[in-house]
Amino acid sequence: MAQNTESRHGMWSNRWMFVLAAAGSAVGLGNIWKFPYITGENGGGAFVLLYLGCVALVGIPIMMAEVLIGREGRYSPINTVRVLIQQHKSSPAWVIIGWMGMLAGFLILSYYAVIAGWALHYIVQMANGSFDGVTAEFANDAFNGFLADPWKMVMWHTIFMTATIFIVARGVTKGLETAIRWFMPALLILLVVLLGYGVNSGGFEQGFAFMFSFNWESVTAESVLIAMGQAFFTLSLGMGAIMAYGAYMPSNASITSTVVIIALLDTFVALAAGLAIFPIVFANGLEPSQGPGLMFVTIPLAFGQMPLGALFGVIFFALVSFAAITSAISLTEPALAYLVEEYNAKRSRVAISVGIFCWVLGIGTVLSFNHWAEKYIVSDLTFFTFIDYVSQNIMLPLGGLLIALFAAYALPKTVVGSQLGLREGPLAVLWKVVIGVIAPLGVLTVFIATILGLG
């Protein structure tokens, strides 16, 4: 019984626009930058398997929960949860889902825009031919030199943030839809071209073996937490971005099939990015476990040595930037929608304020790579690694856990049933078991195991 069929912020033109938008949110730096490097750090194949398990058992059900809650309420996540609490007389404490999500969005966007700025910088570097025929040492030094220059980083960070705010300020249809309509198909085409390139790079067998052969010794309780955090991050779950997008989804589209398509697209892009990057790493005798710099050292190096490398290098970093911007816009949506609803403010004004706030916070990430590189917030975590760890590995899974419990226990069966098109019968029981038991227990177990494992 959806009480609203329209959102005041606008609606996606059709079901496929929702698929593109949610896939645009899901596919981002998490797939192309983070997934390959954390897979490299956590031993390859076994990690990939853990990650796929988390996507299937926890990610897909929680994404369904976010979409159904968003579509039922049709407001920003904070107000959607508020309205549903009132309607169904549940505890006001659930509203924490919305607040924590908004905070996680700010934290993630603050560093996301910095890293996306690196990709913009590399588009220009590749186009200049700065990497033509260089050695691994040169590529490493070039990356470290860039990280040591906060002004340059701030410049690209500013450009990326301005572009993001420009798009979101124009609204759901004119801003978000238009950008997504252009960027997503371009991204998929570029990715397929690059995958072909990786397959022919000479290191494909080794790269493939690295990603798909199991080495259980390298799996610790912490790698399970990282796999879970990555599943949340890559599917944009746990902070209300998908809930906010769900509020603009047409009422007659099927949530289950739509969500499965989005998760498959996202997984395809992550695996394809790994299969494009690792062969190049091995073909050039580089380390798969070199961390965040993986993409920014190996890719320029590899393209610098190949015919038409500058062109493919530009294509690659353009792909990363497109993927990043369609994700960044979704990071702002829960906050924008909330502030517009709450203060009846103009969307463009709110967008600029949120942009400035996250931009300032982003300076902390910029400095974490140079002046503050040795300043630790706790243990060995710098400003950047701390924000990244807390938002991705703690806030998103915790948010996801609460969202699952909210859908399972705070909403009446009839609401969920009508949103998912499930009334009685075995599928309805299966849904209840997955969202009410399996997904929450999965998240909790990983949390507890990590605390015990690390303690």
State yes or no: residue 76 binds ligand PFF (CB under 6 A): no
Among the candidate windows 68-76, 148-156, 324-332, 337-345, which touches ligand PFF by CB under 6 A?
Answer: 324-332
User: Which of 38, 84, 108, 255 is the binder for ligand PFF (CB under 6 A)?
Assistant: 108
The one-character DSSP state at 14 is S
Torsion angle, CA of 111/112/118/124, rounded to 10 degrees?
-140
- Exposure letters 217-245 (e unless 16+ CB within 10 A, then b): eebebebbbbbbbbbbbbbbbbbbbbbbb
CB of 304 to ligand PFF, least distance (A): 26
User: What whole-number distance in Å separates Cα of residue 92 and Cα of residue 86?
Assistant: 8
241 binds ligand PFF (CB under 6 A): yes
Q: Please tell me the number of Cα atoms within 13 Å of 54 on its side-chain side.
A: 26
Smallest distance, ligand PFF to C-beta of residue 403, A: 12
Residue 234 contacts ligand PFF per CB under 6 A: yes
Q: State the alpha helices, DSSP H only, in 200-293.
A: 204-212, 221-234, 241-246, 255-283
Residue corresponding to tokens 């259980």: 216
* CB 78, min distance to ligand PFF, A: 14
Beta bridge partners of 378: 381
Among all residues, whose Cβ is closest to ligand PFF?
A: 30
CB 191 within 8 A of CB 273: yes
Residues numbered 22 to 41 that lie near ligand PFF (CB under 6 A) are: 25-26, 28-31
Both tokens assigned to 421:
């098109």
Q: How far is the CB of 324 from ligand PFF (least distance, A)?
A: 7
Q: How many residues bind ligand PFF (CB under 6 A)?
A: 15
Q: CB of residue 96 vs ligand PFF: minimum separation in angstroms?
A: 17
Distance CA 129, CA 315 (A): 13
Which of residues 50, 58, 187, 239 is near ligand PFF by CB under 6 A? 239
Stretch touching ligand PFF by CB under 6 A, among 41-49, 147-155, 228-236, 367-375: 228-236
The answer to whether residue 327 forms part of the interface with ligand PFF (CB under 6 A) is: yes
- The contact set with ligand PFF (CB under 6 A) reads 25-26, 28-31, 108, 233-234, 236, 239, 241, 327, 330-331
